Amino acid sequence: MKRHLSSIAAMLLVLILLVPYIPASTATAAEAFPFEEITLKQLEDGYTNGKYTTVEVVQAYLDRIKIYEPNYNAFTVMNPKALDEAREIDRRRASGEKLGPLAGVPIVIKEAVDMAGFPSTMGWAPLSKEKGGIELIPERDAPVVTRLKEAGAIILGRTNIPAFSSSGTRATTSWDGDTYNAVDRRLVPGGSSSGTATSVSGNFAVLGIAEETGGSIQNPAAAQNIVGIKPSFGLVPNSGVVPLGGSTRDVIGTHARTVQDAAAMLDVIAGYTHDDAKTVASIGNIPVNGYTSKLNTQELAGKRIGLYGKGWRDQELTPETQLLYDRAVKELIAQGATVVTDPFAGTTFAQTVKTGANGIDSVIYDMQNYLKNLGPSAAIHNVQELITKTGQTPSIFDRYNGNLPNPDSHPDLSAFIDTRTKLLKIINDVMDKYDLDALVFPQMYKETPLLSSEDNIGATTVSEINLAGVPLVTVPAGYYKSGSPFELAFTGKMWSEADLLGMAYDYEQATKYRKAPILTAK
């Protein structure tokens, strides 16, 4: 009997040795990662009760990134001091020091946003040291980065963008190549905050900083099944950010997996700073109790919601998009909302968007100011040096056909101001006429295209939202049969972020469509 058992044991040993070895960190990465889909509240509670240390959390995220980053390319550079900064947060917490609202929270920052000591490549090969270009190092952080650091956030790295953030669909033009969609690598990731969306959706970080001129917060959020906040123009400082329409359209916003987390991050980055004169408009327009103050599951009750129609944009929804939108409208009604069909019918809104000034005429002037503010030690200080030293003219200057204006001259923005004024008046008049609390549209009129195709994302709110300067919140609202995400866009009057977030939260909690994507390693 003993001999028989010994034979069996020997056979089992041979079989075990024949099975290919799969490293545990790769084979069970999803199971081994304890912080998948963790919320700010859950993370904060874990820190408070001693369940987690910041070092433990940050290390877990770095380990996850190491496994999956080669297959998703979300980052352009990592922060080598992330663990040191985590240890400092743990030390301060252990000593009883008062910590900021994001203490120990792993976040990512879009490449276009300056971080002192880290290269600002603009996504452009001539400014990438890795590609033999000039290394452009800002001397100081952008104001939003300063605020996040003061809040105790741990920045894991900077995230990939297309060159000059000039695509709302993909990051193909980046010197670092494509970023891949965390929901499905075959889909475009959305742009230009491609890497931030992938990082947040793929659980490489808890929160992310995104930035938008024409869809660059909302498009990747919708494509990757996460929450995005595109704030009112002037609410969050955009100084220290590579500009497209810095004087007119550019905004910094948040990516998160939940409405509550996105709102909490907005609380940290919103408000006036002397570094950005535009933010004076935010004074008196920030809710006293913050952007989480209206997050409750009764917020849609009694609200009046305007629906998508040809008055907003003469663009039909695809049949499947229409079915998903119809379901979402029923869900809004089930939460107590009253809906109004196509409230913009009979207005000149859609035509004004088509024929109005786009507000990008300030790009030379804005780029000049951006380069000047990089600091004396930076390799480039003005637009002329940018062209001369790189030997190339940035594609964002192509609209001038080689006749570049004086970059120090204030651009004539009168046509754009006229366009924004008209659009805001129509929005305000329509919402007042129908007593609307918000507009809720499908963020895209079709499903997210394949990365292998030449199709662009079909947003319903770009350029409308950016020309008007009003806020928008995206929230997951289901999936197409293909598995591509479907999202709603909540929008409304200037400075209505808290109201929009409250309604989006109510919808999110009632439906809970967000699902953690299953990542694949190389």
- pLDDT tens readout for residues 174-184: 999 999 999 99
The pLDDT of residue 32 is 81
Is the N-terminal amide bond of 463 cis, ω within 30° of 0? yes
Question: Which tokens belong to 409?
Answer: 């001259």
- Identify whether the C-beta of residue 349 lies closer than 8 Å to the C-beta of residue 426: yes
The pLDDT of residue 31 is 55
Angle at 198 between CA 99 and CA 468, to 5 degrees: 85
- Identify whether the C-beta of residue 35 lies closer than 8 Å to the C-beta of residue 104: no
Name the residue with tokens 């028989």.
Answer: 4
Q: What is the pTM of this model?
A: 0.94
DSSP β-bridge partners for residue 439: 306, 491
Low-confidence ranges of the chain (pLDDT < 50): 1-30
Q: Residue 198's closest CA among 209, 183, 211?
A: 183
- Identify whether the C-beta of residue 182 lies closer than 8 Å to the C-beta of residue 201: yes
- Identify whether the C-beta of residue 240 lies closer than 8 Å to the C-beta of residue 110: no
Angle at 454 between CA 469 and CA 210, to 5 degrees: 35
216 is an active site residue: yes
484 is an active site residue: no
* Separation of first and last alpha carbons in the chain: 47
Q: Please identify which of the residues 165, 192, 194, 362 carries the catalytic annotation.
A: 192
192 is an active site residue: yes
The beta-strand segments (E) located in 286-420 are 304-307, 338-340
Question: Which tokens belong to 236?
Answer: 């969050």
Task: Indicate the pairing of strand 472-479 with strand 485-491.
Answer: antiparallel
DSSP β-bridge partners for residue 487: 476
Helix (H, G, I), strand (E, B) or coil at 111: coil
Q: Please identify which of the residues 128, 165, 194, 216 carries the catalytic annotation.
A: 216
| Helix then strand then coil, % of the chain, to nearest 5 | 40, 15, 50
